[in-house]
Amino acid sequence: MSAERTLILVKPDGVARGLSGTILARVEAKGYKLVDMKFVHATREILEAHYAEHVGKPFYEPLVEFMLSGPVVAAVFEGERVIEGFRSLAGTTEPTTAAPGTIRGDYGRDWGLKVQQNLVHGSDSVKSAEKEISIWFG
């Protein structure tokens, strides 16, 4: 049985704050294997494919604009239950209430903007991971 894979994005706020290495090191320290990585300026096309299920929602356009605002680190990690493990490591979507010890709990906060800048994205299922990895890595 092959190990599970997930897409992890360090969003523009994490890159701008110089947290990319710290965030990726935490994932590696958890024991997951980095299998691919790139530094990329996302295009609208990539983001439209990535966030397709959110089209029409009030936060969609502010989210796309935020993700276009700066470079992103896209990484593929592998390991047993890596999807669940990373989502636990990342913490809840809302950084103000994310538990201390999580990425969002330790480094995130509400900036009072139209869209939550919460440092990272992680795939939420095997199916999503497969789709997202193909979008970001071809």
Is the CA virtual torsion 98, 104, 105, 110 positive or negative? Answer: negative
Q: In the prediction, which pLDDT does 112 show?
A: 87
Q: What is the pLDDT of residue 113?
A: 84
Taking every pair of Cα atoms in the chain, the longest distance, rounded to a whole number of angstroms, is 45
Question: Is 76 domain-assigned?
Answer: yes
Tally of domains in the chain = 1
Identify the three-state secondary structure at position 102. Answer: coil
| CATH number of the domain to which 41 belongs | 3.30.70.141
Please enumerate in sequence order all residues whose Cβ is within 8 A of that of 60, keeping only pairs 6 or more positions apart, or say none: 51, 54
Structural domain for 37, as ranges: 4-84+111-116+123-137
Q: The whole model's pTM is what?
A: 0.94
Looking at the annotation, which residues are catalytic? 121
Give the mean pLDDT of 68-78: 98
The answer to whether residue 33 sits within a structural domain is yes
At 10-43, the pLDDT tens digits run: 999 999 999 999 999 999 999 999 999 999 999 9
Domain membership flag for residue 13:
yes
| Tokens encoding 112 | 């009072």
pLDDT attached to residue 57: 94
The DSSP secondary structure of 53-77, one letter per residue, reads: GGTTSTTHHHHHHHHHSS-EEEEEE
Please report whether residue 97 resides in a domain.
Answer: no
Domain-located, residue 77: yes
Q: What's the pLDDT tens digit per position in 78-124? A: 999 999 999 999 999 999 999 999 999 999 998 888 888 999 999 99
Residue 54, domain member (yes or no) = yes
Look at residue 1 in the predicted model and tell me its pLDDT. Answer: 55
Structure tokens given for 85 = 């493990």
